[in-house]
Structure formats: C-alpha cells, structure tokens
Structure 1
Amino acid sequence: MVKEAADLVIGIDFGTDSVRAILIDINGNVRGVSTSEYPRWKQGLYCNPSQNQFRQHPLDYLESMETAVSEIVSDLSVEEKSLVKGMSIDTTGSTPVAVTQKGEPLALTEGFQENPNAMFILWKDHTAIEEAGEINALASAWPETNYTKYVGGIYSSEWFWAKLLHISRMDENVRDAAYSWAEHCDWITFELTGGTDVASMKRSRCAAGHKAMWHEEFDGLPSEEFLSSLDPLLSGLRERLYRTTETSDQAAGSLSSKWAEKWSLNTDITIGVGAFDAHMGAVGGEIKPYYLSRVMGTSTCDMLVVPHNDIDGKLIRGICGQVDGSVIPGLMGLEAGQSAFGDVYAWFKDILQWPVKHGLEDIDFLNSSEKKRLQTHLDNHTIQILSDAASKLEPSPDDEIALDWLNGRRTPDADQHLKAAFEGLNLATDAPHMFKALVEATCFGAKAIVERFESEGIEIDGVIGLGGVAKKSPYVMQTLANVLDMPIKIVRSDETCAMGAAMFAATAAGLFPTVEKAMTSMGDGFEKTYHPDKQKTDIYKELYSRYQQFGEVIEARAHIENDETKAQL
C-alpha cells in the first residue's frame, strides 16, 4: 500500500547574520534546510560598532530569503510543490524601519539606498539610549496610566519607539519621507503577501506588545497626547501605524504571484502572521507552562508561558513584557533576556587573537594559504580550547568575578549605560581563568532573570535550552545548570526558530487546530539534559553573591557618570 504524501510547510528564520529556511512535513520529517548569509552585513556595511550603530539593508533580507527558499524547494516535483500549504517567518526584534504609504522601506526608494537611517535598525542598535530615558521619564509621570507597565516598567533603547524617535530627530530627510514604520517581522510577511498599502499590513501581537507598548487597555498604542508630549515630531504618527494586532496562528494572506514565480510555487500557500525569533523558537523548542525557554546565541531571549489565572493582576517588573498570546495563543507570554551571551565569549576570543590577526601579515615564513588556514583554525577552535581548560578549574569562593554587561543589560531592569568589568585579577590570572569568569558572569545574568520571575510570584520548574550556544557548548550549559541549580533540557533540532515558524505556518494554514497540536506532531524532542553538580552549587551561590555586590558598585558609578554627563550638556 502506497503511503499518502503528507502536507508540507516552510519556516523562515531571519537571524542576525543570515536567514535559515526549513521545509518540513506535518509529521515532523525535515525535507530540507538551507542557510544564506546577508552579503552587505557580512562586509560590515552601514554599521559603526563604536557608536553602537547596527543597520541592515532590506535587500539583504530579500536576496538571502530568495536563495534559502529556492534551495529547499529546488528538488521538489510539481506534485510535491502542490503539497506546500503554509509559510511563516520570524525575525530579530525590535528591528524597525521607516516605510512609505505603500509599505516600502525607504532604503528601497530613490535617494535613500545608501542611507543607514532608512534601513532596518537592528535589535542590538543602542543609538537611542537617550530617547529611551525620555520615554521612561514621561511614562512614570504621565497622569492617566503608565504605558510601560506591561513591558516591565522600563522602556529599552533596543525597542520600537526609542529607535524611531532617534532617527526622526537626527535625519530630517528620513523623517519627512516616512509615512509609517514597520517591524521586520511585519514587513517581510507583508512583502510575501504582495501588500501595497501599509494600512493593510498585519501587525504582530508579539512585536507590538513586547516592544511598542501596545495593549488592549490603551486601545492599541500609547495615546496621541502621550506621543506628541514626548516629541511633537511624533504628532499624527499613531493614526498611520495600527490599532489592532494578530497572533501568529492567524493567516496574513496568501503567497503573492511575484514570490510564487521566483520559487515556482503555488499562490494558494497561506502566509502566517510573523513574530520574533525567540518567541517562535520557544514553540519550535516545545515550550510548556512554567519552563523557561532560553534561546542562547549572540544574546539570549528567555520565554515563559503561563495560564492567565496564574498571572491575573500581576505586573512583572523589569522584564521585556507580558503579552497575551505572544508565544502561544491563549497563554500569557513573558519575555526576558541578556543583551550579550555568546557575544561575550566572541569578544574575549577576538581580544586574544588580536596580535595574531595583526601580526600574521608580517610573518614571511608562511605563505598566504597557510596564514589563512591558521586563522581559520584559531577562529574555529579558540573557544573550545578555552572551554576545555576552564572546565578543569574547580570553582572557589575567591575566584575572579566578571560582569556580563558588555552590551548593556536587557533584564532584569534594562540599562544600556552599564558596562562590563572584572574584579579580583592578579598576576596568576590567565586566559582560562578569565574565560571561566566570563562564562560564569553570563550564567549569573541568567540567574538574576530567574530570581526576578520567582520573586514576582512566577514559578519556574525547569529550563529548555536552544540555539547555537546550547547545542555547541557543553561547558557553558553545565555551568548554567550548576549556577541555576536546576536541570536544562537541550532541544534536539538545530533550527528551532525556523521549526517554530513552520509550526505556526501549519496552524495558520488550518492543518492543525492549535499550535500545541502542531508542536506535538512536528516536534523533534530533546537530545540531552544537563543536571546540576551538587558539589558546586553552594560555591556558585557564594560567587553569585559577589557578582551581585560587584554589579551594584559598577551600576552606581555608571549612574553617577551618566548624571554628570547630562549636567554638562
């Protein structure tokens, strides 16, 4: 008996460096995976790290998406292509862009092609710190309601309103040409469905609720009075944005003829409403209530889902929001995270390799091919060498301590002014000891997040690990289990964000009644569990206490310096 072919769906994950696409059937059988890097981003174009400016050109997204999806569908027969029923996307965020009335990013229009301010402002762009401070000050003094109360009470420079206000102030040309603004996850979905009027753009509940202060209590976004009081430049913008939002189990439309032709697919493919990568990644990692889903890569996004009756009336301080249906429709989605995680380790690797990278060109006993091979070897193995050495070091209460705020602090209590630091260094401190301190610092940052949830009355029963660091760094994961003193389950799939997008695509296309049913059918399970080493957990409690004390000192000094700078201005 011939087994009937199963319906197929496509999940597309727009990460920081590349786009990944997965083709999977509704029984969880992966038919194809492809990754395509962003060419302009790879060259470092439009970015200025010294000013915390990180911008991405929309052509990077379009070209890389076209390549990635083309690769996973190229070997399908005509009959198999007819089985593709749904497609959904996830993106980084908050990554907004100024758009025309037609919903087109300004960087795709005449005169703005090379203007970084007309491009997508990447999640890690911290050029809007001052604007975030103004939003917090106004929100705390606003007489009617505090519009930040559902986003942890602190608005971040990484988020929607701070970024668009900063660009509006600094670039008059962009401000005058911008009819509206859109998140990356909303625009890509709009593009795939052939949208031509920004007023018809489906807006993600996930993006709007966590980053733009959208809430039903406010009748949508913050009031016109609040926004115009923040800056008259924002007057009238609210009406050109949106009032309603959609959860990602809903359909945004069908695949446009333009994109169907590019991929030789049918136009009856349902396109689901988009969302942020960590939120869809949590679904791809089979999140369940009270389990903290940690997407661990360059930064982390930590997701929780809880039933409404367990959070009714609670406002969780200092996190990245609590939004109904932002992860799983019908449950409250809670978001936290760290501004730097894998980036901390990559920074230290670059510090150690600096003399090699800059000294190789002067070495005459190696040819160019040998130099390249040596550099590639170091790039691929330095962190593993450090991890192996650090894993042999037994923790002690007197060890070196580091702070993980190399890119500021996201949660708890967002503060992008904060900087990292070391304490307790001496002449015996070597690279493995410093790396150990940095790994512990990132794990202590995670513990601070867990403690905040628990102190606010939200229980955490365990941790689910996903993302590059979770899959590739046993030393980091074991240290995290020791610091948190709880088990960490590692998701088997390498493509959890794209997998989550595929699960939502299947749900939006009507192949499953709920995304929970899609998870059950399509999920890949877990490959291993890290259990805490009880001989080390007590020592890490002492080191964590020192981390907290050291952090208080550095934070107090940072606030003094920031106040002095403001006074001088």
Structure 2
Amino acid sequence: MSKYAIGIDFGTLSGRAVLADVTNGKELAVSTMDYPHGVISEILPTTGRRLPADWALQDPRDYLDVLGHVIPEVISKSGVNPSDIIGVGIDFTACTVIPVRADGTPLSFEEKYKSNPHAYVKLWKHHAAQKYADRLNAIARERGESWLERFGGKISSEWMFPKIWQVYEEAPEVYRDADYFIEAADWVTWQLTGKQTRSYVFAAYKSIYIPEAGGYPSEEFFASLDEGLRHVVRDKMDAPIVFTCEPAGYVTPEAAAKFGLPSGAAVACPMPDAHTAPIGLGLDKAGDMCAIMGTSSCYMLIGEKGTEVPGICGTVRDGLIPGFFGYEAGLCCVGDHFAWAKENVVSAEYLREAEERGIPVLKLLIEKASKLAPGESGLVALDWFNGNRNILVDASLSGVILGLTLASRPEHIMRALIEATAFGTRVIFENFAEHGVNIDRIVAAGGIARKDPFTMQLYADVLRADIEVSESTQAPALSGAIQAAVAAGSRAGGYDTLGEAMAAMASRSDRVYHPNPDACAVYDKLYAEYKALHDYFGRGGNDVMKRLRKLAGQQ
C-alpha cells in the first residue's frame, strides 16, 4: 500500500501544500492560499498606524490559517487515507522572525501588543534594520571576528540579529516580554509538534551559527553591540538544534485534530524555501546550482569545499545537501520588480487592451517587451528597487532607469527591468568564478521559470549558459515531502537516507534554454554599462541614493 508525505511551502504572499506519493514523488494534489493580511508594509491593520519606510511585517495567524486550509484540501483532493500520510516537511522564507512567549504565543496575539508593530512578524524583506546591520558589521570588523568572512564579509539587515537589535533599541518592552525570537519556520513546526526546536540550516545561514566554531558568536561580541545583548542567545534563542531530514518531532493529537493530519506523523526539520530546493530538483553534485525565481531570486550552489566568497550570503557546511558546502546568493527584487512596472508604468490604453484580450496586464507588458530586440529599448536599469542583497549587501540602495526619453514606452521599461535582474545575476555568477567557485549546471524553478519563457531565454543569453527548468512547479514543497519521507524512515514506509529518497522522488528537468550568440554579443555591451552603474552607485562613487532616502525619511 502506498504511503504519502506532505510538503508545505510558506512564501512571501501565500502558502501552498503538495501531497506526494512516497514511492515515486508524483504530486497528487496541490493547494494554495493567499495570506489574508499579505505583506504589511504601509499601514498596521489593527490601528491604521502608518509604518516607516522599509518595513515589511506579517501576521502569524495567517500561517495557521494556511495550515488549516491547505492540509485538509490536499488530502481531500487526492482522496488518500490520512492514516497513510507518514510525514510533513515545511519550508519558509528567511529570515522571518517572530517574538513569542515561552509557550509559543506570538506577542502580536496579545491585546497589549496589537498596536505595536515590533510585536509582529518581521518578514525576510523587512529592511528597516539596515543601520543595525551596518553597526554590527563595523564592530565585527573592528574586533576581527573570524566568522564574518564566512558570510561574504557582511551580515544582512534581513538576518536575525539586526532585527532583534532593532527591537531591543526601538521597542525594549517587546524585547523584555519576548521569551524567544524564533524563525517562523521553527514556530510553525512547534505548532505541529508541541515542542520548540531550531533548524540548523536557518540558524547557520541567518543567525551566524557555526558548529565547528562553537556555535553562535560569543557573548563578548554581543556585549560589544550593547551590554544588554550579552546573553541574547542564552535568553532568547536557546532550543535544541535539529538537522536536515531529522524529525523535529511528531504531530501531536491536538495538531492532528486541528489540521487534519494523522497523530504521530513525522515532522521533518524545516528549511528555508530556496535552500531546500536542490533536494526537490535532485541536485547532488558539486557545481550544481538551483535558481529559485519568484518575488525575489535565490541562487543555491553546491560546493566541494567552503571557499570564502565576498559579497554572498554565506557558505555553510551541510547547508544544502549533507556532505557538501552550500553557497547562498540572490536578488531581493525580481517578481516584485515586474509587479511594480505593472502597477505604475502602464497607461489606460494598456489596461484596455489587456481587458479586451482577457489577459493580465503583466503578461501583456512582457509580451510587448519580448518583441523588442536586445538593446532596442535604449535603457539600462539597476535592479535595486528593494535594495541589493548580493554582492553589495546594502538595503539602502535604490533603483535606477537610465536613458528615458519621450519615446520610451512601458514595454521598454519592462524589458530594461527584466534585463537588470539578469545583469544582477551575472554579477553574482562572475563573483563566484573570480573566487574559484565553479557553476557547472543551472536548474531553475519557481513561477517565473515555468511561466515566462521570454525571461528564461533572456537569462540564458545574458549569462551565456544553458538553463534547465524543473518539471515541478512546486520544487520547495516537493523537497519538504522528500525530507518528510526520510524523517519518517523506512519502518513507516519512507526512506532511511536522503539519497534514496531523492533518487525515487525528486523532480526532473523537462526543458533547456540555450544562449543565442547574437543576443549574447549585444548583452555583453549592455552588461558593461550596467556594471559601470553598479560600481558607481554601489561602491561609493556617488551615495545619492542614501542621501535621497535620508531626505525622504525626514519629511
């Protein structure tokens, strides 16, 4: 009799579940639910209070709502007997942080804190902690902290400790009353298992956790930030660490009743959404890279050894696939970039055409952009509308569109924005190559990879590389199901090793984009212009972006 596993992928705007056959990885049912509160970036719904620039919050109730919707729906759609479900695996955006009480209750659930934005989830793209990241990096450099180079020489404002420091400084009452600051992935896992654990991969990539160097940074380092932070790990983060494919626990009777899962099913150690994808894509060799392309893009590269590469997010032993080093890099504005164009640069004429043809405005814009030749727009853009993740690691940078004239059309802008994300990707790839880290194979997954052949061909041309596309539209969720099958083990009908599970269940590539030499030649010229702008605005040639942000914040 077949056994099944469920993978649940918590993204930026929605959560989705995949129910897969453990025998062959076949996806029998998929369910998706948008978060009722979405991303809270302008107004705090409970009070109407306007949030400052660069904030991005969420309501943790939305995550529970997702569990209560997608799990019963995939079970119902698939028609499987719930008792044949052997495990659940979760992935999540990172670093997405929740302040909670000792029993796991988020502070934002309490009447006392409903009006305090610091009590809510700080989403991965909450960049209002940039000044704390800057201070942390400066102090780490002054002290000669050896771990800093492991993470590209800079800790991002998206990570755990800058966000905790922001709460400590700006809302000390929240810091005081929070018994824990916890990754949302670990919190959701806690809701299923009834016990708190910490995922090694989240801790290693987003909280500077290095087992071979003694774990987290020293108490002396945190005291150098502020004496009140000396015991931040001991007091606010202390919980058992679990590793990839290990069970974080088992579904409690209470969670089973609430979400429709069988009591006692294994709950795998959660992973960040991009970091888990190589498992679902079957990538298991040094030089294999997966590109997860959606709201943002993440480039996860498997390596034989841990080379220090400046400007990337980090290098972690056993970070992607056990037995290898995992490199993380990416762009923090891709799909968001395109959505901005859809919402802000189209005229009534374009809206009418999209409505008459019955297609989304974004699809119309991309279609028109695809009819332009490389270079025809006369534009070049910087893809920093949400800051720069790599290789500059600076959330205070902003976007540029250069070359606009009265003849510029919305499709010209759209194409320049798509090209900018490809050029930003090339900067990352060249940075790897310059430091001796090879990329031998690229497999793309995510909404853009499956739905937008124009953008994928453009990327192949800009990168001068073949790009494979996974047949699965739900690679992170499928990865969760694979890990759940390993956490459950062969005695429950799963697998005892990750290699066995990947061989049976992982998705395969079903299309390949090859670079077009003629387009490559034009893009090399455009890329040279992009790189000149990148270095001028991003490396101190002109800090106008930061001055403008500061001026806007004073109004």
1:95-114 alignment, distance < 5 Å: 95-114=96-115
Q: How far apart, CA to CA, are the structure 2 residues paired with 1:106 and 1:234? A: 20
Cross-structure match for 1:122: 123
Deviates more, 1:16-25 or 1:384-393: 384-393
Deviation at 1:386, TM superposition (A): 2.1
Q: Does 1:543 align with 2:545?
A: no
Q: What amino acid maps onto 1:128 in structure 2?
A: A
Contact (CA 8 Å) 2:396, 2:549: kept in 1 or not?
A: no
CA-to-aligned-CA distance 1:363-386 (integer Å, 9 cap, x gap):
xxxxxxxx9xx9877995222222
Q: CA 1:237/1:542 → structure 2, altered by over 3 Å: closer, same or farther?
A: same
Q: CA 1:96/1:264 → structure 2, altered by over 3 Å: closer, same or farther?
A: closer
Cross-structure match for 1:384: 363
Q: Does 1:449 align with 2:428?
A: yes
Deviation at 1:76, TM superposition (A): 6.8
Deviation at 1:283, TM superposition (A): 1.8
Q: CA 1:463/1:429 → structure 2, altered by over 3 Å: closer, same or farther?
A: same
Q: CA 1:490/1:169 → structure 2, altered by over 3 Å: closer, same or farther?
A: same
Q: Does 1:18 align with 2:14?
A: yes
Q: CA 1:148/1:296 → structure 2, altered by over 3 Å: closer, same or farther?
A: same
Q: Does 1:233 align with 2:228?
A: yes
Residue 71 of structure 1, aligned match among 70, 73, 77: 73
Cross-structure match for 2:543: 559
Q: What amino acid maps onto 1:559 in structure 2?
A: D
Q: How far apart, CA to CA, are the structure 2 residues paired with 1:326 and 1:80? A: 34
Q: How far apart, CA to CA, are the structure 2 residues paired with 1:33 and 1:403? A: 36
Q: How far apart, CA to CA, are the structure 1 residues paired with 2:382 and 2:281? A: 29
Cross-structure match for 1:56: 58
Q: Does 1:31 align with 2:28?
A: yes
1:458-469 alignment, distance < 5 Å: 458-469=437-448
Q: CA 1:489/1:375 → structure 2, altered by over 3 Å: closer, same or farther?
A: closer
Q: How far apart, CA to CA, are the structure 1 residues paired with 2:508 and 2:390? A: 29
Cross-structure match for 1:281: 277
1:76-475 alignment, distance < 5 Å: 80-143=81-144, 145-195=145-195, 201-240=196-235, 241-242=237-238, 245-289=241-285, 290-308=287-305, 311=306, 314-353=307-346, 380-396=359-375, 399-475=378-454
Q: What amino acid maps onto 1:296 in structure 2?
A: M
SS at match of 1:518: helix
SS at match of 1:148: helix
Q: What amino acid maps onto 1:65 in structure 2?
A: L
Q: CA 1:148/1:530 → structure 2, altered by over 3 Å: closer, same or farther?
A: same
Deviation at 1:149, TM superposition (A): 2.0
Contact (CA 8 Å) 1:397, 1:543: kept in 2 or not?
A: no
SS at match of 2:454: helix
Q: What amino acid maps onto 2:224 in structure 1?
A: S
Deviation at 1:243, TM superposition (A): 7.5
Deviation at 1:553, TM superposition (A): 2.3
Q: CA 1:148/1:408 → structure 2, altered by over 3 Å: closer, same or farther?
A: same
Contact (CA 8 Å) 1:397, 1:539: kept in 2 or not?
A: no
Contact (CA 8 Å) 1:247, 1:329: kept in 2 or not?
A: no
Q: How far apart, CA to CA, are the structure 2 residues paired with 1:500 and 1:256? A: 23
Cross-structure match for 2:44: 46
Q: CA 1:251/1:564 → structure 2, altered by over 3 Å: closer, same or farther?
A: same
SS at match of 2:189: helix
Aligned alpha-carbon RMSD (Å): 2.6
Q: How far apart, CA to CA, are the structure 1 residues paired with 2:467 and 2:133? A: 34
Q: CA 1:234/1:355 → structure 2, altered by over 3 Å: closer, same or farther?
A: farther
CA-to-aligned-CA distance 1:316-357 (integer Å, 9 cap, x gap):
111111111221122111100001011111111111247689
Contact (CA 8 Å) 2:91, 2:273: kept in 1 or not?
A: yes
Q: What amino acid maps onto 1:405 in structure 2?
A: W
Deviation at 1:294, TM superposition (A): 0.7
Q: CA 1:403/1:42 → structure 2, altered by over 3 Å: closer, same or farther?
A: closer
Deviation at 1:264, TM superposition (A): 4.0
Deviates more, 1:556-565 or 1:30-39: 556-565
Give the TM-score of the pair, scaled to structure 2: 0.91
Cross-structure match for 1:515: 498
CA-to-aligned-CA distance 1:98-141 (integer Å, 9 cap, x gap):
12222332123342234321111000111101000001100111
Deviation at 1:527, TM superposition (A): 2.3
Give the TM-score of the pair, scaled to structure 1: 0.89
Q: CA 1:427/1:99 → structure 2, altered by over 3 Å: closer, same or farther?
A: same
Cross-structure match for 1:481: 460
SS at match of 2:231: coil
Q: CA 1:29/1:482 → structure 2, altered by over 3 Å: closer, same or farther?
A: same
CA-to-aligned-CA distance 1:251-287 (integer Å, 9 cap, x gap):
1111011111124432220111111111112322222
Q: What amino acid maps onto 1:104 in structure 2?
A: T
SS at match of 2:282: coil
CA-to-aligned-CA distance 1:526-565 (integer Å, 9 cap, x gap):
2211110011112111111110002222223553664899
CA-to-aligned-CA distance 1:2-30 (integer Å, 9 cap, x gap):
xxx21111111111111101111112122
Q: What amino acid maps onto 2:65 in structure 1?
A: E
Deviation at 1:38, TM superposition (A): 1.1
Q: What amino acid maps onto 1:129 in structure 2?
A: Q
Deviation at 1:432, TM superposition (A): 1.8
Q: What amino acid maps onto 1:117 in structure 2?
A: H
Q: How far apart, CA to CA, are the structure 2 residues paired with 1:43 and 1:417? A: 19
Q: What amino acid maps onto 2:28 in structure 1?
A: R
Contact (CA 8 Å) 1:51, 1:127: kept in 2 or not?
A: yes
Q: How far apart, CA to CA, are the structure 2 residues paired with 1:250 and 1:559? A: 47
Q: What amino acid maps onto 2:219 in structure 1?
A: E
Q: How far apart, CA to CA, are the structure 2 residues paired with 1:9 and 1:564? A: 50
Contact (CA 8 Å) 1:470, 1:490: kept in 2 or not?
A: yes
The gaps in structure 1 that reach 5 residues or longer are 196-200, 361-370
Contact (CA 8 Å) 1:8, 1:23: kept in 2 or not?
A: yes
Q: CA 1:381/1:560 → structure 2, altered by over 3 Å: closer, same or farther?
A: closer
CA-to-aligned-CA distance 1:53-101 (integer Å, 9 cap, x gap):
1111111100121111011123677x82221111110110100111222
Deviation at 1:398, TM superposition (A): 8.8
The gaps in structure 2 that reach 5 residues or longer are none
Q: How far apart, CA to CA, are the structure 2 residues paired with 1:378 and 1:134? A: 52
Q: How far apart, CA to CA, are the structure 1 residues paired with 2:238 and 2:355? A: 48
Q: Aligned residues: percent identity?
A: 33
